[in-house]
Amino acid sequence: MSGPRIGTVVWPMRSWPEAGETWRRAEELGFHHAWVYDHLAWRGATPWYDAYTTLAAAAAVTSRVRLGTMVTSPNFRHPVPTAHAIKTIDHVSGGRLTVGIGSGGTNRTSDAGVLGGPEWTRAERAARFAEWVGLLDRLLRGPETTVEGEYYSSREVVTEPGCVQRPRVPFLIAADGPRGMRVAARHGAGWVTTAVAPGRAPDEVVRSRLDALGAACEAEGREARDRVLLTGFTDEPWLESPQAFADLAGRYAELGVTDIVLHWPRPGTRWDADMAVFEAIAAEHGTGG
């Protein structure tokens, strides 16, 4: 196999055990990683099941594929119980968990504002995101964490026995702006983008953001090992054919993208696709390719 690793987003819309069959199938098809969105609802879609509970169940019915959130939302999660769930899933999965983290969406039909209180300004959302990630990092490293933050605090939180992965579960940071890039450079093992920016070509968006990420990493003296493109939000024909996928994946690999994530085909939506094409891509570019 050559080119970027591939993963898939599994929609948390089917109850167990039907959903379990999809996660097992993702592993059988050869995807390197499988992800779930972290929302209470999403664009009015129902039913919509919890991300962390889903990952624990998925970890129990798979053995190889890497699992993760795409991406964890500070909109309704506090770092302390989130860290506790992360440690548990890392143990259930045998060290196969990656935690994607973003600043949280602003759409109130999803999960922004569900806990009440005033709407966060853009500056406050960025500040909360940086503090949230920093505290989660400390909580997972341990051994005991007491922090009084502006937005999030913890008191004598014991980490032991800690994560299977040391020093902690890796973070995949979703970031586009300068402050988010600094968070990715400081705390992330990787970075993720959708390549969406009004009026700009997706590959140019990725190129410019990778340049910004590189500058942020240089300033921090670190490197983002994984550079992930979440597809399905542009007009690019990722699932039109195996050749179309290969052409696009090659183009983004040249820019520095290491991983491509596809949505599991979802009939009746913009993420609908020919399942035969989806499976052929997995066969050619997955772990068995």
**What are 65-79's pLDDT values in tens digits?**
999 999 999 999 999
Q: Which of 13, 59, 9 lies closest to 34 in space, CA to CA?
A: 9
**What are 79-122's pLDDT values in tens digits?**
999 999 999 999 999 999 999 999 998 887 778 888 988 999 99
Check: CB of residue 242 under 8 Å from CB of residue 284: yes
Separation of alpha carbons 128 and 276, rounded Å: 43
Q: What domains, with CATH codes, occur in the chain?
A: 5-285 (3.20.20.30)
Q: Kind and range of the H or E element at 151?
A: none
Structure tokens at 122: 């853009």
- The overall pTM is greater than 0.85: yes
Position 72 scores a pLDDT of 97
* CB burial readout 51-62, b (16+ within 10 A) else e: bbebbbbbbeeb
Q: Kind and range of the H or E element at 183?
A: helix 178-187
Check: CB of residue 24 under 8 Å from CB of residue 67: no
Q: Kind and range of the H or E element at 67?
A: strand 66-72
**What are 176-229's pLDDT values in tens digits?**
999 999 999 999 999 999 999 999 999 999 999 999 999 999 999 999 999 999
